[in-house]
């Protein structure tokens, strides 16, 4: 019985350990979603997988927004382990229509740009606070 119980405990611990650890890329994506949530015009945010939906004003009207995270990449320091910069590429939609950048202009509302957000954006790793910095 003790042998069986030890086996079950080991399996549970292994399962918890494997599922609890998020990849660095997933942590970057989660930070990106938190940055979207921090924008003062964003309401009713929903996050499922690599998609985020929310309500926010666009011009003078309320609009339905959707952001799809297309990719997340992390550049590392010379030691190969410590993150240096993270890059998120995403597609943004408002009321079902994709917002495409025009040249160097993202065509997103200033409220997002002021928070360091765009279709392609990057975050620097703050090693002191051990988190991504978007601004």
- DSSP class per residue in the chain: -HHHHHHHHHHHHHHHHHHH---HHHHHHHHHHHHHHTSTT-EEEEEETTEEEEEEEETTEEEEEEEEEEEEEEEE-TTSSSEEEEEEEEEEEETTEEE--BTTB----HHHHTTT-SSEEEEEEETTTTEEE--
Query: Which one, of 10, 26, 128, 15, lies nearest residue 86 by Cα?
Result: 26
> Do 91 and 43 touch, CB atoms closer than 8 A?
no
The pLDDT of residue 19 is 47
pLDDT in tens, 105-135: 889 999 999 999 999 999 999 988 989 999 8
pTM: 0.81
The pLDDT of residue 12 is 41
**The two three-digit tokens of residue 37, written as one number:** 């949530």
Query: Which one, of 114, 108, 107, lies nearest residue 134 by Cα?
Result: 114
How would you write the pLDDT of the chain (135 residues) with one tens digit per residue? 545 444 434 444 444 444 445 899 999 999 999 999 999 999 999 999 999 999 998 888 899 999 999 999 999 988 888 889 999 999 999 999 999 998 888 899 999 999 999 999 999 999 889 899 998
The pLDDT of residue 61 is 87
């Amino acid at each position: 019985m003790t042998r069986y119980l030890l086996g079950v405990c080991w399996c549970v611990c292994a399962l918890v350990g494997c599922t609890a650890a998020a990849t660095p890329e997933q942590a970057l994506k989660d930070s990106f979603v938190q940055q979207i949530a921090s924008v003062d015009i964003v309401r009713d945010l929903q996050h499922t997988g690599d998609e985020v939906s929310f309500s926010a004003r666009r011009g003078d009207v309320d609009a339905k927004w959707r952001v799809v995270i297309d990719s997340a990449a992390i550049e590392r320091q010379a030691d190969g382990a410590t993150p240096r910069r993270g890059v998120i590429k995403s597609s943004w939609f408002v009321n079902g229509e994709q917002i495409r950048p025009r040249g160097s202009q993202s065509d997103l509302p200033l409220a997002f740009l002021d928070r360091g957000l765009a279709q392609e954006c990057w975050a620097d790793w703050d090693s002191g606070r051990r988190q991504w910095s978007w601004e």
